[in-house]
Amino acid sequence: MIGLGIRSFLFNVGWYVGSIVIAIVGAPILLMPRRRVIAWSHFWIVFCLGWLRLTCRLAHRLGGLENMPAGPVIIAAKHQSTWETLAFALLFPNAAIVLKRELLFIPVVGWAMARAGHIGVERGDGAKALRSLVRQTKAALAEGRSILIFPEGTRTPVGAQPPYQVGTAALYRQLGVPVVPVALNSGVFWGRRKFIKWPGVIDVEVLPAIPPGLDRKTFMATLRERIEGATARLVAKAKKIQP
CB 219 within 8 A of CB 166: no
Report the alpha-carbon distance of residue 233 to residue 243 in Å, rounded: 24
Identity at 203, one-letter amino acid code: D
**What's the pLDDT score for residue 37?**
87
5-9, 39-43, 55-59: least confident range = 39-43
**What's the pLDDT score for residue 196?**
94
**What's the pLDDT score for residue 94?**
86
CB 182 within 8 A of CB 87: no
Question: Burial of 204 by CB count in 10 Å (0-12 exposed, 13-18 middle, 19+ buried)?
Answer: buried
**pLDDT surpasses 90 at 116:** no
Distances (CA, A) of 95 to 3, 5, 27: 37, 34, 22
Q: Quick one: pLDDT band at residue 149, thresholds 50, 70, 90?
A: very high
Domains located in the chain, CATH noted: 59-237 (3.40.1130.10)
CA nearest 149: which of 157, 160, 137, 159?
137
Percent of the chain predicted with pLDDT > 90 = 63
SS3 82: helix
SS3 12: helix
Q: Please name the helix (run of DSSP H) or strand (run of DSSP E) that holds residue 180, with its range, or none.
A: strand 179-184
170 vs 125, more confident = 170
**What's the pLDDT score for residue 1?**
53
With b for 16 or more beta-carbon neighbours within 10 A and e for fewer, the 175-201 pattern comes to: bebbbbbbbbbbbbbbbbeeeebbbbe
Q: pTM (2 decimals)?
A: 0.91
Report the alpha-carbon distance of residue 93 to residue 88 in Å, rounded: 8
Task: Name residues whose C-beta falls within 8 Å of residue 27's C-beta, 6 or more positions apart in sequence.
Answer: 108
DSSP sequence for 101-158? GGGGGSTTHHHHHHHTT-EEE-TT-HHHHHHHHHHHHHHHHHTT-EEEE-TTSS---T
